[in-house]
Chains A and B, each alone.
Chain A
Amino acid sequence: MSSRRSRQSGASRITDDQIIDLVSKLRQLVPEIQNRRSDKVSASKVLQETCNYIRSLHREVDDLSERLSQLLATIDADSAEAAIIRSLISQ
């Protein structure tokens, strides 16, 4: 939300190399940044999108936990584990 840039805390400043490293890593991981065409993405924007992405992942875990809690009654001990692992490996 805040558009103030480069307010670094303490002695840890982000170097250019670290920004480039982070951008390339997070580019592949964060869907929002993947779609951007420009090569220059500001550090602040990357951090912001990363935070948003992490929050959305946390929300998904919450939702899935609720869903699994409701479905728990239907889990069948014998076939469940093998079948699930099998489908995970083949993904």
Chain B
Amino acid sequence: MTPKGVTLNTNSHKIKFARRFIRTLLKMRKNAPSSSSIEEIRKRSQRIKIAAYSSMAHAVGSRRAWSRAILFKLRNRARHHGMMRRRSMKKRVIKNDPPGDQSQTNKLRQLVPGGKAMDMCSLLEETAHYISCLSTQVKVMQTIADHLSK
């Protein structure tokens, strides 16, 4: 049951996400060797995870700050693929944060994509939308996994 007023188009996000994500999985299936080592399975699960967040961000599009943040990060990643830039991108300086005393707000900023640059009001809005899309993402992935387990 999705609450009204929080996300207007949950169903369309859900379907858009599902289509895109499944297509990515099928592409991976084609490129995958028939017998996979544990190492390959682990690497693939990392790519699947990225595909999931990416598909959801694309389904939402540029309407939301959090999805824009993910898309921006993905594009930068693609651009610097192969260079060691990835490491430096992960380390971010959090302003106004005395060590060992992080407020709940700052913790939330770290969890929501793009949260560090938002003002408080936007952060709360984006959080609500992000949570709703995240739980949709989880439900769809669960459905797919269950379907494949049969």
Contacts and interface: CB of A to CB of B under 8 A. Distances in A.
Interface of A: 2, 4, 7-10, 12-14, 18, 21-22, 25-26, 28-30, 44, 47-48, 50-51, 53-55, 57-58, 60-62, 64-75, 77, 80-81, 83-85, 87-89, 91
B8 interface: no
Interface stretch (B70-78, B82-90, B103-111): B103-111
Contact of B142 (A44, A64, A70): A64
A65 B45 contact: yes
Nearest to A67: B145
A69 B45 contact: yes
Given A53-B131, A73-B34, A85-B18, A44 B104 contact: yes
Given A2-B102, A7-B103, A8-B103, A61 B49 contact: yes
Q: Which 7 A/B pairs are nearest by Cβ-Cβ distance? A: A47-B104, A69-B45, A12-B120, A65-B49, A28-B3, A64-B141, A71-B148
Interface string B48-72: 1100110000000000000000000
28 contacts: A2-B103, A7-B101, A8-B120, A12-B120, A14-B120, A25-B124, A26-B131, A29-B135, A47-B104, A48-B104, A54-B111, A54-B131, A58-B134, A61-B134, A61-B141, A64-B142, A65-B45, A69-B41, A69-B44, A69-B45, A70-B41, A74-B148, A75-B26, A77-B29, A84-B18, A84-B143, A87-B143, A91-B143
Interface residues of B, number: 60
A75 B128 contact: no
A9 B106 contact: yes
Main secondary structure of the interface of B (DSSP, over half): helix
A67 B29 CA distance: 14
B117 interface: no
A66 B46 CA distance: 8
Given A7-B103, A61-B141, A69-B41, A85 B19 contact: yes
Contacts of B32: 72-73
Given A8-B105, A25-B6, A29-B3, A72 B18 contact: no
A62 B121 contact: no
A18 B42 contact: no
Given A51-B111, A62-B49, A84-B22, A4 B15 contact: no
